[in-house]
Amino acid sequence: MSREAAVDRDELLGLGDDALILSHRLAEWAGHAPVLEEEVALANIALDLLGQARVLLSMVGDEDALAYRREERAFRNVQLVERPNGDFAHTIVRQLYFSVWQELRYRQLAPLLPLAAKAVRETAYHRDHAEHWTLRLGDGTAESHERTQRAVDALWPYTGELTGPGGLPGEWLARVTATLRAAGLTVPAGPPPRTAWAAGGGRQGIHTEPFGRLLAEMQHLHRSHPGASW
């Protein structure tokens, strides 16, 4: 337990909320994915993330109270993970940006945090999945290329929060840039912005407009039937 205390509560909460919220977003693909194999893949990634969230939130407090009874401003996830799924390319690019960061962060934390040492191996598969799909879509048809480029550009402003203070600017940027270039995609100009509402807001409890609707759906059952069990 003393080793776990080496990672502070805010960081555990941020990592736990990232995993929880992205898990929920990915689970929204159930019944809607373009092919069965991808439906299964996205659900499995969601399941890994949910498992990580349960361990991380349980280190902070009661996992159910934290997931189901907090208001929007109390969540500490980065804004990137709450962004709506959009089309399949949008989901894949969000996963690429996030998984590359999460794998690097878990690797840094592995000596201090048993969950990170374990989950980094799962995250490596998520990142691998996102990289493969980025290559296929970016280097695929004219339409898949265009949709993927649109996602790359639309989600880029949300990456500032990953690469800011305490983030991993160099390694993250190098890895993501290499994948986008290999896929024939244009890397947005300049480093990810760290200005205004899109940078660092999530970790301070400031979220984007679609997040409220996500929470309403995620928390509705628990709030409507407190204490219910199967």
Partner 1 sequence: MTGREQARERERAQEPGRAPGRARGREAELYAVAGAVPDPELPVLTLAELGVLRAVRLTADGGAEVELTPTYTGCPAVETMADDITAALRGAGVPRVAVRTVLTPPWSTDDITDTGRRKLRAAGIAPPRPGGLLTLAIHCPRCDAVDTPVLSRFSGTACMELRRCAACREPFDHMKEI
Residue 114 near partner 1 by CB under 8 A: yes
Buried b (16+ CB within 10 A) or exposed e, 188-225: beeebbbeeebbbbbbeeebbeebeebbeebeeeeeee
CB of residue 119 vs partner 1: minimum separation in angstroms? 5
Among the listed residues 24, 76, 83, 129, the single contact to partner 1 using CB under 8 A: 129
Binding to partner 1 (CB under 8 A): which residues in 31-60?
A: 37-38, 40-41, 44-45, 47-52, 54-55
Distances in Å between the Cα of 80 and the Cα atoms of 7, 8, 77, 102, 184 are 23, 22, 8, 12, 23
1 or 142, CB closer to partner 1?
A: 1
CB of residue 151 vs partner 1: minimum separation in angstroms? 20
13 or 198, CB closer to partner 1?
A: 13
Binding to partner 1 (CB under 8 A): which residues in 188-217?
A: none
Residues found near partner 1 in the complex (CB under 8 A) = 37-38, 40-41, 44-45, 47-52, 54-55, 114-115, 117-119, 121-122, 125, 128-129, 132
